[in-house]
Amino acid sequence: MVRDRGVAFLPPFREAVLSLRAHSAKLVARPAGRLQGRVCAPGDKSISHRALMFGALALGETTVRGLLDGEDVLATAAALRALGAEITHVRDGGPLSGDLWRIRGFGVGGGREPADVLELGNSGTSARLLAGILASHPFTSIMTGDASLRRRPMHRVIEPLTRMGGRFEGREGGRLPLAIVGTDEMVPIEYRLPVASAQVKSAILLAGLNTAGETTVVEPEPTRDHTERMLRHFGAEVRVVLAPGELGDGGKRITVVGWPELLGRDIVVPGDPSSAAFAVVAAAIRPGSDVTIENVGVNPLRAGLYQTLRDMGADIAFENEREVGGEPVADLHVKGGVLKGVEVPPERAPSMIDEYPILAIAAACAKGTTRMQGLAELRAKESDRLASVSAGLFANGVKHEMGLADLVVHGTGAPPAGGGLVATHLDHRIAMSFLVLGLAAREPVAIDDGSPIETSFPGFAQLMNGLGARIEAA
Ligand SMILES: O=C(O)C1=C[C@@H](OP(=O)(O)O)[C@@H](O)[C@H](O)C1
Ligand SMILES: C=C(OP(=O)(O)O)C(=O)O
C-alpha cells in the first residue's frame, strides 16, 4: 500500500520523510527467542504535544528535553511555527534526557494568522488540541492531514468550540480539511464530555485560556490529565473538583480561569507508556526474557495496560519510582512467562485506550479467553482499530470474536500460527502490535507498511532488535 502521507512537500517534514524513504515500507518480524536488555522509551507523545503548545502560549522561553522526535509532534511544531512561535531543535544529545528544544512563545491570544494550510499528517492530538487554540484567535485557518486524519471525527471538538463562539466549515461530519473562523471574544461554557476524551477536554481548556471568565469541563470518566498538570506548571489557575456523587467514580469538574499570564518554563518529558507497551508485552510473552525499559511515565491515568498485564500474571516490577517533570515515572522490569486470559473492566478503557491492539497480542499468546469491553472509541483512531486488530488476528490464525464495542480473544497458551500479512491502514499501533506478534508466533508475521511507526516511535525496529527481536524489511 502506498501511504498518502500528505506531508511530503512541507519543509518541517522533509527530514522525516527522507528517513522513511530509506526503508522499504513492508516489514516482517520473525520468531525470536528470549529478549534481554535495558532500553529507554521514546518521549511521551501526549506530553510532547502539550509542551510545545503551552510553550507557544507562554511568554518568554520554554526549554524541553525528552521531546518525542516523531512525525506527530513535528506536525504540532510546524503548526505552532506557522502561528508565530519560534521553535528550535538544538541537537546536543543531552546526556540524561535527549536533545534540547527551545520555544519562544507568542502568549495567550497572541498567535498570528497562518499563511498557509496547516498540515497535521496523521496526528489526531495535533488537530483536536490546535482546534481549541485556533478557534480562540481572531483569524481564519485551515487544517488538513493524511488520509487517516481526514477520516477522523472532528465534530466532538467542533460542537463545544462552536458554543464558545468559533465557526467551522469542514467536510461531511466536520472532517478535515477544516476551516476555522476564530474569535477573541469567546464565551465561557460548562461542557459535559459525551465521550471520554482527553483531546476534547484539552481543546476546550485551551480555548478557555483566551476566554474571559471560567471555562469548565465536566468529565464523567477520568482521562489523562497532562493538560491540567502542565497548565498549572505554566502558571494558569486550574481547579479540579472530584464529584463522585454527581458523576460516578472518578468524575471531575475541571475549571480554567481565562487570560492567565503563562510564563516560559523548563520541561522534561518522560518516556511514553504507550510506546513502552510494545517492548513490555514482547518480553512478557517470551518465556525467559528479562528486559528493563527505563524512564516510563506511569501516571495512573495512563497505566491501565500494566495493571491488566499483571492481572494476566505478567511479572512487571516498577523500579526506581520517581517524579520527572511533574509526572510519576519508573523503570519497568519485565520477566517473560506464560500469561492467562482475563476480563478487562470497561471502566479501565480510558487509561489504556491506545494499548488495546498490543493487549490483543498479549491475549493471543495467553492461555484462556480475554474479554475487552467498552471499546467503541477504538473505531475513531488512526484506523478502525477493532476492525484492524480483528483482521490481523484472523490473518494469523488467532481465534477471536469482535462485537460493535468489544473483542474476545481465545488464546491456547501455545504460540499462535502467524504467517499472515497485516494491513496497517496508516496506523502505527497496528503496525507495531503485529510485529510483536511475529516474535512469538510459529511463522513470521508481515505488515504491509511500517512507515506509520515514525509518527510515534522512530527507531522502533532497531530498539526491539537490540533486545533480540528479528524485525527487518520484507
Ligand atoms: O490527549 C491525548 O494526548 C490523547 C488522547 C487519546 O485520544 P482521545 O482523547 O480521543 O481519547 C489518545 O488516544 C491519543 O493517543 C492521545
Ligand atoms: C490515537 C492516537 O493518536 P492521535 O489521536 O494523536 O492520532 C495514538 O497515538 O494511538
Residue 386 CA, ligand 1 centroid: distance in Å = 16
Task: Determine whether the annotation assigns residue 429 to a binding site.
Answer: yes
Q: Is 385 annotated as a binding residue?
A: yes
CB 75 within 8 A of CB 455: no
Which position has the higher pLDDT, 3 or 280? 280
Report pLDDT digits (tens) over 65-83: 999 999 999 999 999 999 9
What is the pLDDT, as a whole number, of residue 15? 42
Taking residue 1's Cβ as centre, other Cβ atoms within 10 Å add up to 12
Nearest-atom index, ligand 1, CA of 45: 3
Q: Give the residue-averaged pLDDT of 452-465.
A: 98
* pLDDT value at residue 87: 98
Question: Read out DSSP for 202-249?
Answer: HHHHHHHHTBSSEEEEEESS----HHHHHHHHTT--EEEEE-HHHH-T
Q: Is 353 in the pocket of ligand 1 (CB under 6 A)?
A: yes
Same fold, 22-42+270-473 and 45-216+228-240: yes
Q: How confident is the model at residue 20 (pLDDT cuts 50, 70, 90)?
A: very low
Q: Which atom of ligand 2 is nearest to the CA of 382?
A: 7
Q: Which of 5, 7, 45 to mutate to test the pocket of ligand 2 (most atoms within 8 A of CB)?
A: 45
| Confidence category of residue 248, pLDDT binned at 50, 70, 90 | low
Per-residue confidence (pLDDT) for residue 93, from 0 to 100: 75
| Ligand 1 close to Cβ of residue 199 (< 6 A) | yes
User: From the CA of 224, how far away is ligand 1's center (Å)?
Assistant: 8
**How many angstroms separate the alpha carbon of residue 395 from the centre of ligand 1?**
28
- Asked whether residue 466 is marked as a ligand-binding residue, the answer is no
Q: Is the pLDDT of residue 1 over 90?
A: no
* 156 annotated to bind ligand: no
Whether residue 245 is predicted with pLDDT greater than 90 in this model: the reply is: no
Read off the pLDDT of residues 327-364 as tens digits, 9 standing for 90 and up.
999 999 999 999 999 999 999 999 999 999 999 999 99
- All residues at 6 or more sequence positions from 198 whose CB lies less than 8 Å from its CB, including other chains: 46, 223, 224, 225, 226, 227, 350
Instruction: Report the SS3 class of residue 315.
Output: strand
* pLDDT at 426 > cutoff 90: yes
Distance 362 CA to ligand 2 centre (A): 21
Closest approach atom of ligand 2 to CA 427: 10
CB distance 302 to ligand 2 below 6 Å: no
Tens-digit pLDDT profile for residues 294-336? 999 999 999 999 999 999 999 999 999 999 888 999 999 999 9
Q: 205, 224, 386: which to mutate for ligand 1, most atoms within 8 A of CB?
A: 224
Is the pLDDT score of 215 beyond 80?
yes
At the fourth CATH level, which superfamily is domain 45-216+228-240? Enolpyruvate transferase domain (3.65.10.10)
Res 16 pLDDT > 50: no
Enumerate the β-bridge partners of residue 61: 104
Residue 14: its pLDDT value, please? Answer: 36
Q: What is the pLDDT of residues 142-164, one digit of tens each?
A: 999 999 999 999 999 999 999 99
The answer to whether 92 is a known ligand-binding residue is no
Closest ligand 1 atom number to CA of residue 198: 9
CATH number of 22-42+270-473: 3.65.10.10
* Choice from 74, 123, 375 to test ligand 2 binding pocket (greatest atom count within 8 A of CB): 123
Query: Across the chain, how many H-helices and E-strands are there?
Result: 14, 24
227 Cβ inside 6 Å of ligand 1:
no
Q: Is 354 an annotated catalytic residue?
A: yes
Q: Are 362 and 284 in contact (CB under 8 A)?
A: yes
Kindly list the distances between the CA atom of residue 424 and the CA atoms of 384, 447, 451, in Å, as whole numbers in the listed order: 10, 7, 10
pLDDT tops 80 at residue 247: no
Residue nearest to atom 10 of ligand 1 (CA): 197
pLDDT in tens, 258-272: 999 999 999 999 999
pLDDT in tens, 392-417: 999 999 999 999 999 999 999 999 99
19 assigned binding-site residue: no
What cell numbers appear for 157 in the block?
471538538
Residue 116 has pLDDT above 60, yes or no: yes
Q: Is the CB of 124 under 6 A from ligand 2?
A: yes
Q: What is the mean pLDDT of residues 109-130?
A: 98
Measured in angstroms, how far is the CA atom of residue 408 from the centroid of ligand 1? 23
% residues pLDDT > 70 (the chain): 93
Bridge-based pairing state of the strands 367-372 and 343-344: parallel
pLDDT of 172 over the 80 cut: yes
**Ligand 2: which atom is nearest the Cα of residue 455?**
9
22: confidence class by pLDDT, cuts 50, 70, 90 = very low
pLDDT at res. 368: 98
Our answer on whether the CB atom of 451 is closer than 6 Å to any ligand 1 atom is: no
Residue nearest to atom 8 of ligand 2 (CA): 354
| pLDDT attached to residue 95 | 58
Sign, CA torsion 369/370/376/380? negative
Mean pLDDT of the chain: 94
CA dist 445 and 163 (Å) reads 48
Q: Where are the domains of the chain?
A: 22-42+270-473, 45-216+228-240
* Ligand 2 centroid distance, CA of 381 (Å): 6
Report the C-alpha gap between 100 and 90 in whole angstroms.
5
pTM, to two decimals:
0.95
